Structure 1
Amino acid sequence: MRSRHLLCLFVGLMVWSNSLAPTPANAADSASQPNILFVLYDDLGWGDLGCYYQNESKHDRTHQTPHWDAMAAEGLQMRNHYCPAPVCAPSRASLLTGVHQGHASIRDNQFDKALPDVPTVASVLKSVGYTTALVGKYGLQGEGNSAENWPAYPTKRGFDEFFGYVRHRDGHNHYPADKWPIANGDAHANPVELWHNDDEISSQLKGCYTADLFTAKTKRFLVEHQSQSADDPFFVFLSYDTPHASIQYPSAPYPEGKGVNGGVQWLGETERMINTVGPIDSYKHPDYANQGWTDAEVRFATSVRRLDDLMGDLLQTLRDLELEENTLVVFSSDNGPHSESYIQNVNYAPTSFQSYGPFDGMKRDCYEGGIRVPTVAWWPGKIAAGIDQSPSQFHDWLTTFADLAGANVPARADGVSLVPTLLQKGQQATPTTYVEYFNGGKTPNYEDYEPSRRGARRGQMQAIFMDGYKGVRHNIQSHADPFEIYDVAKDPGEANNLAGTSPEMEKLQQRMHDRVLQLRSANATAERPYDGEPIPADESLNADAPMVVNYCPTKTSIVSRLDPAQSTKVDIEGLDLADAVRSAGQGNARVQTVLNVAKTGRYELRLKATGDAVLRVHDAALIDTTGHDKTDASVEVTLEAGTHPVDMIVRLAGNDSVPALELNELPDAPKKSRKPAKQKRKSK
């Protein structure tokens, strides 16, 4: 039988009168809201960018990226930007929903799983007047077979327009309407579906190479938006399916010129949708065709060069439309480089161009080559040219874009705004950079990888960045397994494992073990060996610290972070709880307090509230009712004896009953040691 152990928190403590709260600020007007173009490549390695690695490489094969290099020279090179997981579905899900993989509902290899009905980058920006579009690869739609019955179709997740591949596997083919005779199986040989809003249109796309097609469609969107809706800001997510999967050639040379009147163009004619329709899989870039490389290498280099040309075309289009000074352009990649060709009896490996750069690891690894991705932010007149070496991650973009747009940040978001870094204004909050992932395979046996990790089993993987160091572990069997610890700024190849080399590293090892339990929550669809471990207490907290309560009257449809400038700190003494809640009106309320746990054990946290709520213990989001309209939500969690910070935000609807949080002790509390095992130092 459960017994109540401790705590009843009342959100009604937060306000005593709506009339005493500040008037909420309006969202930024459209004149101050930047347009946003986010370009995501598929399996483009950090080392594939010319100015990052290829231009200085001593390898016997290199390729060029002149347009990316020019863009990088004008913008901010974010050289320590990380994807959430080293494979596409979880990376794209975390990007769109603004949470890291410790809180995401799509983890590991859950391709085609439905993106949950929660705030997305698109819906957050749409709420403050943005026109939103997704062009390209999606793969987060859920079960179904049409725009009508896919539960998480892009237009049901905040996008006004969608043009592209819905299913994950369809994105392996770069000619949706054409049979590819040299493919290694029917799945990659036969035509696939491509959708535009409610319609499947692949039959109209004969000879269309998707990188060209998606760029031409994006250019068409920019031109039409400028002519029809110039006063409204836009958010375009251009999600390429290349250079991943089938390494297919384009169908024609790159058209002359760039921008509105040159480069790839949208024609809109059946079987001639764009101006590069031609014999499929036929065009080899002349810079690479006669180098003595394998056909697979020429194919890969040509596809990367094509993407580079397309970026130059997009930027010139913005200039031609006089949009460049009010448009933030960011490009990145969903994970590290791949090793497949999907051609009969043909192999390809990222060793050909060392696409992983100076790192070890590739797609599906949590070493740097698998998770550090090439990223550049470009905004003439706003972002100064430079190089940023501080770690950041995909889930920071939702918060960043909301900050720029004057939108409310969902309380469930894990990211921080990168605006101080981008615009060099204000103090940059430290991002949480965290990765977890499972893969049943092994790291490749490449000669330029460290010998100890060649052919090493991946299994359960995890990475955390703390105090300037990276902790990473592969093939995790239990939470006691130690992290390898690297100073990746000095040791990008992760050759010198610092774990156990000094008392400071021993302490950092324990902090990493504690931290990964304090910032994540378990997910039944992606079980981890450390799911049942006690969340460590924080003994630096004052067990008798008073509850801190703030209220913001901003009327939002989601539970949101409170804007400090628009919030009121509430004096909670002597309040009548029921009257306080009824008088509060609509808005978001935040309670911060300390939870005192008498003994280590299993507990039930139960929240009773009529509005959406997000509750964190430490930084672990243990209760998140966003989109569920639950009045009674609970979670079972193991807590270590001691003090734990509680941070809860609830959206009030103006007629709420008094919300409450209960802590109930559960029987059979497990007793597990959190002391990590010692590991021998590994040197080069």
Structure 2
Amino acid sequence: MSDHQNISHRAGTVSPPEHSPSVSPPNIVVIQADQMAAQALGAYGDTAAKTPHMDALAEEGAVFDRAYCNSPLCAPSRASMMTGVMPSELGCFDNGDDFASSVPTFAHRLRLAGYHTALVGRMHFIGADQHHGFEERLTTDVYPADLDMVPDWTLPLEQKLQWYHDADPVFTAGVSQASVQQDFDDEVGFRTLRHLNDRVRANQAAAAAGEEAQPFLMVSSFIHPHDPYEPPQEHWDRFADVEIPDPAHPEVPDIAEDPHSHRLRAMSGFDERYPDLEQVRNARRAYYAAVSYIDDHVGRIRERLDSLGLSENTVILVTADHGDMLGEKGLWYKMSPYERSSRVPLIAYGPEHLVPRGRHQTPVSLLDLMPTLVDLAGAPSPKAAGDSVLRIARGEQAGEIGPEDRPVIIEYLAEGTYRPQLSIISGQYKYVICPGDPDQLFDLATDPDELHNAARKEKHAATVARLRGELDARYDMAALEAGILESQDRRRLVAEALNMGRKRSFDHNPEPEQRYVRGDFWAALDYGTIRDGAR
């Protein structure tokens, strides 16, 4: 793993929070949704959204208006988020790439700092290590953990692999009385609330023994609103009289300007059949309903923190691994560098001495989450490419840092392309390169919908040269491409071998829980009771 810093700010030192020895380290709750675009939340300006709980956190906390994933694909995005290392440096190129257990994650770092660490729900770890530093993992994942989803950049587009995204979820979107995703997320919600109870039980036991309560990190990770778009009836009905806007720009970009979007459409079959306007509206309604379903879970988690007396010393962070195009530019799902796919919500809520209130415009990314959690925990600052978003917010408020000072990088190294695609966001500009494709430059201040490629305009020549220079300084594109192709070959061999003869899955199966009464009946009853005023 390289120590090369892919992302940095250049405005000098930003001030850390004021810590007092008498203040206990805060509990931290990270709530993550899958494929939840920032633009689909009321907190980010969507007037059709029904997200009152996330909006309330935003109103009372910190909102990062320009937060991005570092890869618009589940597994590499999450691995990067947990480590603070870019996917290409981790070797986590795609959804069939194993995540090395020797790389420190924020769970390792907080566990070392004395935190109890638990993962509830989805994280899309590929490979044998299904904990990556979490002391407890309370559910299995919703997707398999094996090396089966390995792209092949040598295959023609028409030769599709079985696991590619397909157009069907857009055509079949609608109410589901029950589904795998609902069952999974309902379990995540239930176990999240029970785990909060368990942390209070542990605090009570510590107090009875004259010991300090142990702070905790809990990551609750849901699969909604990821396709298939199949929300419960209750949430679908909330939008019966809501005018959800149609895609603002459903037309497909010119293939000469944007071949990547055409590859994504061909990979998923949208080039051969495309939903009509009513089907598009139906799918978007289902997506908005699924986001509302996530919002209900956020509300229940916050209510449980309040009722257990944990809110005063708990920081809540809400985010997602990537967005969803939802029909913009004729695209669905993710895998694109466009804003709808690559921007994510990032909302922080907690005690004011820890979380600066307000909206913050400096670009940040999921790469910054690990340093943020370490910062909150008061643990030693890691050598990392990112920085704490809370320090960035305070620096922005103090005038020490601004949008021009923090470039953010997005990598896409998976299916739907034949060469590495890199994007850099710097100030108001987004610049995209992929060998064989035309460069793209978007001025997000004057062209927020990314309709006009300005890369060849003379007035932007200096900007293109500057951003290209930054990417060239960070990446050896030929070496990166060769490494990806070699990795694909190697992993296909391993996956094929592991499917021969006796098969063993990497999937996580939670250990039997010591719940209810085990052994000492009276002690178990006493431990299980949460008394008023306990924290």
Q: Specify if TM > 0.5.
A: yes
Matched, 1:402 2:374: yes
1:165 maps to 140
Contact 1:86 1:370 in 2 (8 A): yes
Structure 1 residues 266-287: Cα deviation after superposition (integer angstroms, max 9, x where no partner): xxxxxxxxxxxxxxxx655432
Call closer, same or farther: CA 1:470–1:527 in 2, change over 3 Å.
farther
Contact 1:36 1:234 in 2 (8 A): yes
Contact 2:356 2:390 in 1 (8 A): no
2:291 maps to 304
Q: Within 2, Cα distance between the matches of 1:223 and 1:468? A: 45
2:119 maps to 134
Structure 1 residues 17-62: Cα deviation after superposition (integer angstroms, max 9, x where no partner): xxxxxxxxxx99694422211111101122211232420xxxxxx4
Partner of 2:317, secondary structure, is: strand
The code of the aligned residue for 1:462 comes to L
Matched, 1:465 2:451: no
Partner of 2:484, secondary structure, is: coil
Within 5 Å, which residues of 2 pair with 1:411-426? 411=383, 413-423=384-394
Within 5 Å, which residues of 2 pair with 1:113-512? 113-142=98-127, 150=128, 152-154=129-131, 157-166=132-141, 168-169=143-144, 209-229=183-203, 231-250=213-232, 283=234, 285-288=236-239, 296=283, 299-337=286-324, 350-351=326-327, 363-382=334-353, 383-411=355-383, 413-423=384-394, 427-428=400-401, 430-441=405-416, 460-473=420-433, 475-477=434-436, 483-502=439-458, 505-512=460-467
The CA RMSD measured in Å over matched residues stands at: 3.6
The code of the aligned residue for 1:485 comes to L
Give percent identity, aligned residues only. Answer: 29
Q: Within 2, Cα distance between the matches of 1:501 and 1:227? A: 63
Q: Within 1, Cα distance between the matches of 2:89 and 2:163? A: 36
Q: Within 2, Cα distance between the matches of 1:287 and 1:482? A: 43
2:27 maps to 35
Q: Within 1, Cα distance between the matches of 2:145 and 2:219? A: 18
Q: Within 2, Cα distance between the matches of 1:488 and 1:186? A: 34
C-alpha displacement of 1:69? 1.6
C-alpha displacement of 1:393? 0.6
C-alpha displacement of 1:405? 1.7
Segments of structure 1 that go 5 or more residues without pairing to the other structure are: 1-26, 56-61, 143-149, 172-184, 189-204, 251-281, 339-349, 442-456, 529-684
Contact 1:93 1:115 in 2 (8 A): no
Contact 2:81 2:369 in 1 (8 A): yes
1:111 maps to 96
Partner of 1:318, secondary structure, is: helix
Structure 1 residues 248-279: Cα deviation after superposition (integer angstroms, max 9, x where no partner): 344xxxxxxxxxxxxxxxxxxxxxxxxxxxxx
Q: Which moved more, 1:161-170 or 1:40-49?
A: 161-170
Matched, 1:81 2:62: no
C-alpha displacement of 1:169? 4.4
C-alpha displacement of 1:227? 2.8
Contact 1:98 1:397 in 2 (8 A): yes
Within 5 Å, which residues of 2 pair with 1:624-643? none
Matched, 1:526 2:484: yes
Within 5 Å, which residues of 2 pair with 1:668-683? none
Q: Within 2, Cα distance between the matches of 1:46 and 1:303? A: 14
Q: Within 2, Cα distance between the matches of 1:302 and 1:373? A: 18
1:47 maps to 39
C-alpha displacement of 1:296? 4.8
Call closer, same or farther: CA 1:249–1:502 in 2, change over 3 Å.
closer
The code of the aligned residue for 1:153 comes to Q
C-alpha displacement of 1:134? 0.7
Contact 1:103 1:520 in 2 (8 A): no
C-alpha displacement of 1:495? 2.6
C-alpha displacement of 1:318? 1.7
C-alpha displacement of 1:399? 1.3
C-alpha displacement of 1:320? 1.9
Partner of 2:352, secondary structure, is: coil
Higher helix share: 2
Q: Within 2, Cα distance between the matches of 1:97 and 1:432? A: 19
Q: Within 2, Cα distance between the matches of 1:166 and 1:112? A: 16
Contact 1:360 1:367 in 2 (8 A): no
Contact 2:323 2:344 in 1 (8 A): yes
Contact 2:29 2:218 in 1 (8 A): yes
Partner of 1:77, secondary structure, is: strand
How many equivalent residue pairs? 388
Partner of 2:287, secondary structure, is: helix
Structure 1 residues 483-503: Cα deviation after superposition (integer angstroms, max 9, x where no partner): 322221332112343334346
Call closer, same or farther: CA 1:71–1:206 in 2, change over 3 Å.
closer
Q: Within 2, Cα distance between the matches of 1:106 and 1:187? A: 18
C-alpha displacement of 1:511? 2.3
Partner of 2:109, secondary structure, is: helix
Call closer, same or farther: CA 1:234–1:484 in 2, change over 3 Å.
same
Contact 2:30 2:218 in 1 (8 A): yes
Partner of 1:239, secondary structure, is: strand
Q: Within 2, Cα distance between the matches of 1:362 and 1:285? A: 20
Q: Within 1, Cα distance between the matches of 2:440 and 2:412? A: 16
C-alpha displacement of 1:386? 1.8
The code of the aligned residue for 2:112 comes to S
Structure 1 residues 634-669: Cα deviation after superposition (integer angstroms, max 9, x where no partner): xxxxxxxxxxxxxxxxxxxxxxxxxxxxxxxxxxxx
The code of the aligned residue for 1:41 comes to A
Partner of 1:209, secondary structure, is: helix
Matched, 1:517 2:517: no
The code of the aligned residue for 1:469 comes to Y
Call closer, same or farther: CA 1:71–1:509 in 2, change over 3 Å.
same
Higher strand share: 1
Structure 1 residues 587-624: Cα deviation after superposition (integer angstroms, max 9, x where no partner): xxxxxxxxxxxxxxxxxxxxxxxxxxxxxxxxxxxxxx
Q: Within 2, Cα distance between the matches of 1:386 and 1:361? A: 32
Contact 2:235 2:292 in 1 (8 A): no
1:536 maps to none
Structure 1 residues 224-245: Cα deviation after superposition (integer angstroms, max 9, x where no partner): 2123137211111111111113
Normalising by structure 2, what TM-score? 0.64
Bigger RCO (CA 8 Å, 6+ sep): 2
